[in-house]
A and B are shown apart, each in its own frame.
Chain A
Amino acid sequence: MAWKEMKKNKVKFLIVGSIVSLISMLTFIISGLADGLSQDNVSLIKNIPEGTFYMSGDSNDSYTQSHIDDQKLEDFKTEDEHSFAFSLQMGALKTQSDNQQSVAFLTATETPLLNTVKSGEVILDRSLKDEGIKIGDRLSSPQSEETFEVVDFIDHQKFNHSPVALIHSKDFNRMFRTKEYQLIYSEETTENMGGLQAFSKSEFLSTIPSYQAEQMTLNMIVWFLVVISGLLFSIFFYMMNVQKIAMYGILKALGIRTADLFQMIWSQMALITMTSLLVAALISQVFQVFAPDTIPYHLSVSTTVQLSVVFFVVGFLGSTLSGLQIKQIEPLQAIQQGEA
Chain B
Amino acid sequence: MSRLQLEQVRKSFKNGDTEEEVLKGVDVTLEEGEVTALIGASGSGKSTLLTIAAGLQRLSEGRVLFNNQNLAEWKAEQVRKIRAQHFGFVFQSSHLVPFLTVEEQLSIMMDIADRRGIKQEKQKQIKKILDEVGMSHRRTAYPSSLSGGEKQRVAVARAIIHEPSILFADEPTASLDSNRSRETMALIQQVTKTQNMATLIVTHDEQMLNYTDRIVKMSDGKIVS
- Interface residues of chain A, those whose CB is within 8 Å of chain B, are 1, 4-5, 7-9, 247, 250-257, 260, 330-332, 335, 338-339
Contact = CB atoms under 8 A, between A and B. Distances in A.
A335 B109 CA distance: 17
A250 B113 CA distance: 14
B35 to A, nearest CB: 21
Given A253-B56, A255-B81, A332-B57, A1 B108 contact: yes
A103 to B, nearest CB: 64
Contacts of B203: none
B99 A9 contact: yes
A254 B113 CA distance: 9
Interface residues on B, range: 20 to 34
B112 A4 contact: no
Interface of B: 51, 56-57, 80-81, 83-85, 87, 89, 91-93, 95, 97-100, 104, 108-109, 112-113, 142, 158, 170
Describe A's contact surface by its main secondary structure. helix
Nearest to A249: B95
Contact of B56 (A4, A256, A331, A338): A331
A315 to B, nearest CB: 21
B84 A339 contact: no
B99 A8 contact: yes
A253 B80 CA distance: 8
A254 B83 contact: yes
B93 A255 contact: no
A8 B101 CA distance: 10
B49 to A, nearest CB: 13
B6 to A, nearest CB: 17
25 contacts: A1-B100, A1-B108, A4-B99, A4-B100, A5-B99, A8-B99, A9-B99, A247-B98, A253-B89, A254-B83, A254-B89, A254-B109, A255-B80, A255-B81, A255-B84, A255-B85, A255-B112, A332-B51, A332-B57, A335-B91, A335-B95, A338-B91, A338-B93, A339-B92, A339-B93
